[in-house]
């Protein structure tokens, strides 16, 4: 595009803005935009709209494009004069349009233009600026703004000149403009001189306008050739313009036209990850709510994965213009590792187009994208090795969804993997579906245990009856598991039962007989139970005969809805105050130690045995003893008595 030729004619007039613009304009300059660099995004967006308007008008008036068919946006600067110039060869404006569009705050020429389009044309229009305030972001960085423009249907002498210092009035006059389109010259404020710089401007374009559908040009940065004396020679007389944006958004192209390498390269671009993604999903939704999404599952976890307060979310675009880097409204927090972009023109932005406003459409998109991501994860299950790597990396974060996302709770649970007591080690994990398939017909519940490690869980005293009867138990070793399971009560009609909590009944048929036997044994050994309860005092709530122990003398059991003992200690160590909770002690009436204690008549010796019994049960749970010295002392005294 050649430089526009402008010759202002005398007789310009000064006119007042429509509305009380002085106060409003000052408010916009100082309060509306939180980031000064957005001025360039707004002006480039307006220029892109001007190009699209011309394309639509040219459908019925082909001659409008004949003058200069290659549409574009040109950005130049003068570091000495402290000016930035943005030019386009779009539709331009007439005098009346200049006065209406630039002289009335919040009047949008784009919105007016959209009203003239049919329904199908509106869907195809890639028009961005519909608030009517984007142009005035110029005054955030400029003390004076000059505009030279000519509408595509008019002759050069019908060009228009407009200028304002943003203080309540503007000048408008006629000008001889050789080419159609609009040129805006910003005279920068002193504190904004930094923007008259090639790298600064290029960086802003790459950030906000990399994917708009119109090429953005800047002068090519060429170093002069070195002379024989070692001095740099002069730059070429003819400047070279180069495109500095992609001028095409990958996500707007049909999936059939995008190669796998292009998808991977785009992932690396938006995620700053050097590796390839595990998978991706590219979809365009049409209808009442229209948007395009491109979502990626990473291979590696970001360094701040477990920092729930860190910024996260998808990149948000409106008609390919960048709006937000981390729009967290479109996915729940437990999917914060997902990378991608969403592009829509139906989203309710605030006036400065920097923030999303609450709206039912956002919730609709959020629900749809959440299900799409869960489907992406489910598809990985067809490749077990790849899925296992994903689970090891992101499984703990995914578990947060059981609490956060009630709608997809069962779908999420189906994606989980746990170690089973029949496996050799914790690396051999199974799904809940696989567990249910292996259950005997008489088993009605999904049994699990929480522990510090796989070995600790598998060797827990609570597991003894299950190992004896060859019943599989899920061993959960992540710190989040017990909290998660307090919300996950059943899966596909099967209830979850913690083997170390509450009453235990392995099947309905034997439950009544088991209960009667327990009551009989407790009646027969009533004195022993009472003596143990008195000896242990406030450390326990009760002493019962166990139905779950086979080899161990005793175990500690908490109430069904209570926090597990190990988890309670972890939370208390982190400084959290919890309501008091005391477990009850279950004893194996067949164990030799218990039988010996029942015969013990010396009170002091019985108390020592009770202390050791309780300490062993607590240690088996992975707990830390509140008074280790007392436990060690009692143990040493008993050991000493054995040799005297």
Which of the residue ranges 5-9, 117-121, 309-313, 493-497 has the most confident prediction, judged by mean pLDDT?
A: 493-497
Residue 231 maps to a domain? no
What span, in angstroms and rounded, lies between the C-alpha atoms of 550 and 466? 10
Host H or E run for residue 83: strand 83-88
Written as one string, the DSSP assignment of 190-211 is GGGGGGSSHHHHHHHHHHHSTT
pLDDT at 121: 45
Q: State the burial class of residue 592 (Cβ atoms within 10 Å of its Cβ: 0-12, 13-18, 19+).
A: exposed
Q: Do 609 and 480 share a structural domain?
A: no
| Number of domains, the chain | 4
Pairing of β 6-8 and β 169-177:
antiparallel
Q: Of 448, 468, 498, which marks where a domain is finished? A: 498
| Residue 12 burial (CB count, 10 A) | 15
Residue 401 maps to a domain? no
Residue 405 maps to a domain? no
Percent of the chain having pLDDT more than 70? 83
Q: Do 622 and 483 share a structural domain?
A: no
Domain CATH code at residue 439: 3.40.50.11260
Written as one string, the DSSP assignment of 515-542 is HHHHHHHHHHTHHHHHHHHHHHGGG-S-
Q: Of 380, 404, 438, which marks where a domain is finished? A: 380
Decide: 378 and 415 in contact? Cβ < 8 Å.
yes
**Residue with the two structure tokens 């050791």:** 612
Decide: 370 and 313 in contact? Cβ < 8 Å.
no
Residue 571 maps to a domain? no
104 vs 365: which has the higher pLDDT: 365
Sheet with 291-297, strands from edge to edge, namely 279-285, 291-297, 339-344, 314-318, 321-327
Residue 567 maps to a domain? no
Domain CATH code at residue 87: 3.30.565.10
Percent of the chain having pLDDT more than 90? 45
pLDDT at 472: 94
Q: Do 125 and 58 share a structural domain?
A: yes
Cα–chain center distance at 122 = 31
- Crossing angle, helix 603-620 and helix 592-599, to 10 degrees? 160
Q: Do 31 and 150 share a structural domain?
A: yes
Angle at 110 (CA atoms; ends 62, 183), nearest 5 degrees? 75
| Residue 24 burial (CB count, 10 A) | 17
What span, in angstroms and rounded, lies between the C-alpha atoms of 5 and 175? 9
Domain CATH code at residue 621: 1.20.120.790
pLDDT at 141: 93
Q: Do 44 and 162 share a structural domain?
A: yes
Residue 186's DSSP bridge partners are 84, 145
Q: Do 494 and 425 share a structural domain?
A: yes
Residue 397 maps to a domain? no
- At 130, the pLDDT band (50, 70, 90 cuts) reads very low
Whether this prediction's pTM lies above 0.85 is answered by no
pLDDT in tens, 286-299: 878 889 999 999 99
| Greatest C-alpha distance within the chain | 122
pLDDT in tens, 587-622: 999 999 999 999 989 998 899 899 999 999 988 887
Angle at 471 (CA atoms; ends 473, 541), nearest 5 degrees? 65
Q: Do 491 and 531 share a structural domain?
A: no
Tell me what the mean pLDDT of segment 457-468 comes to. Answer: 90
Decide: 494 and 555 in contact? Cβ < 8 Å.
no
What span, in angstroms and rounded, lies between the C-alpha atoms of 409 and 403? 8
Angle at 338 (CA atoms; ends 337, 341), nearest 5 degrees? 140
Tell me what the mean pLDDT of segment 299-322 comes to. Answer: 84
Q: Do 529 and 616 share a structural domain?
A: yes
| Residue 442 burial (CB count, 10 A) | 11
Q: Where are the beta strands (DSSP E) in 33-168?
A: 73-78, 83-88, 142-150, 159-164
What span, in angstroms and rounded, lies between the C-alpha atoms of 545 and 590? 10
Domain CATH code at residue 330: 3.30.230.80
Residue 350 maps to a domain? yes
Cβ contacts of 621 within 8 Å, gap of 6 or more:
460, 500, 555, 556, 565, 566
Residue 394 maps to a domain? no
Host H or E run for residue 588: none
Asked if residue 504 has pLDDT above 90, the reply is: no
Q: Do 113 and 161 share a structural domain?
A: yes
**Helical spans, DSSP H, in 506-627:** 508-524, 526-536, 565-573, 592-599, 603-620
Q: Do 425 and 371 share a structural domain?
A: no
Q: Do 259 and 210 share a structural domain?
A: no
Cα–chain center distance at 98 = 42
Q: What is the DSSP letter of 250?
A: G
Domain that holds residue 298: 250-380
Q: Do 481 and 515 share a structural domain?
A: no
């Amino acid at each position: 595009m050649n430089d526009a030729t402008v010759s202002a004619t005398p007789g310009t007039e000064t006119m007042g803005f429509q509305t009380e613009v002085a106060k409003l304009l000052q408010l916009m300059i100082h309060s509306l935009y939180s980031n000064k660099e957005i001025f360039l995004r707004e002006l480039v967006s307006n220029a892109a709209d001007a190009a699209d308007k011309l394309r639509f008008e040219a459908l019925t008036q082909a001659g409008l494009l004949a003058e200069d068919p290659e549409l574009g946006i040109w950005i130049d600067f003068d570091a000495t004069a402290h000016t930035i110039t943005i030019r386009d060869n779009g539709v331009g404006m007439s005098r009346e349009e200049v006065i209406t569009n630039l002289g009335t705050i919040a009047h949008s020429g784009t919105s007016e233009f959209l009203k003239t389009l049919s329904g199908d044309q509106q869907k195809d229009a890639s028009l961005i600026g519909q608030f009517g305030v984007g142009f005035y972001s110029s005054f955030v960085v400029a003390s004076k703004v000059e505009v030279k423009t000519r509408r595509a249907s008019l002759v050069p002498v019908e060009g228009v000149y407009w200028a304002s210092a943003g203080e309540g009035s503007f000048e408008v006059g006629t000008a001889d403009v050789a080419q159609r389109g609009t040129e805006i010259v910003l005279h920068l404020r002193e504190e904004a001189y930094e923007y008259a710089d090639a790298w600064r401007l290029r960086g802003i374009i790459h950030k906000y306008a990399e994917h708009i559908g119109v090429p953005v040009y800047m002068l090519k940065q060429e170093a002069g050739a070195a002379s024989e004396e070692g001095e740099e020679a002069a730059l070429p007389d003819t400047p070279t313009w180069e495109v500095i944006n992609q001028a095409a958004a990958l996500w707007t192209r049909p999936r059939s036209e995008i190669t796998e390498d292009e998808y991977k390269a785009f992932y690396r671009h938006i995620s700053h990850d050097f590796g390839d993604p595990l998978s991706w999903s590219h979809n365009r939704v049409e209808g009442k709510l229209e948007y395009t999404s491109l979502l990626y599952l990473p291979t590696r976890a970001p360094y701040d994965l477990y920092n729930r307060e860190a910024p996260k979310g998808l990149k948000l675009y409106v008609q390919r213009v960048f709006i937000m880097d981390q729009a967290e409204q479109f996915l729940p927090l437990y999917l914060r590792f997902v990378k991608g972009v969403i592009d829509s023109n139906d989203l309710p932005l605030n006036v400065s187009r920097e923030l999303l406003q609450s709206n039912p459409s956002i919730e609709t998109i959020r629900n749809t994208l959440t299900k799409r991501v869960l489907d992406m994860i489910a598809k990985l299950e067809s490749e077990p090795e790849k899925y296992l790597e994903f689970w090891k990396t992101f499984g703990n974060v995914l578990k947060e969804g059981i609490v956060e996302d009630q709608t997809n709770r069962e779908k999420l649970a189906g994606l989980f993997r746990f170690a089973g007591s029949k496996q050799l080690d914790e690396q051999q994990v199974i799904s809940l579906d696989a567990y249910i398939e292996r259950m005997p017909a008489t088993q009605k519940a999904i049994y699990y245990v929480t522990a510090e490690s796989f070995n600790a869980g598998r060797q827990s005293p609570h597991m003894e009856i299950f190992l004896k009867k060859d019943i599989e138990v899920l061993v959960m070793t992540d710190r989040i598991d017990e909290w998660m399971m307090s919300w996950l009560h059943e899966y596909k009609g099967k209830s979850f039962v913690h083997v170390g909590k509450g009453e235990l009944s392995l099947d309905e048929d034997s439950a009544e007989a088991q209960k009667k036997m327990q009551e009989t044994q407790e009646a027969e050994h009533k004195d022993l139970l009472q003596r143990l309860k008195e000896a242990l005092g406030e450390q326990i709530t009760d002493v019962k005969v166990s139905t779950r122990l086979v080899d161990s003398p005793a175990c500690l059991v908490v109430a069904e809805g209570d926090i597990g003992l190990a988890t309670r200690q972890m939370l208390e160590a982190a400084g959290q105050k919890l309501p008091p909770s005391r477990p009850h002690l279950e004893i194996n009436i067949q164990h030799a130690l218990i039988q010996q204690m029942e015969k013990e008549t010396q009170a002091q010796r019985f108390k020592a045995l009770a202390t050791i019994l309780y300490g062993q049960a607590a240690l088996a749970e992975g707990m830390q003893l509140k008074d280790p010295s007392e436990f060690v002392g009692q143990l040493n005294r008993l050991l000493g008595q054995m040799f005297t």
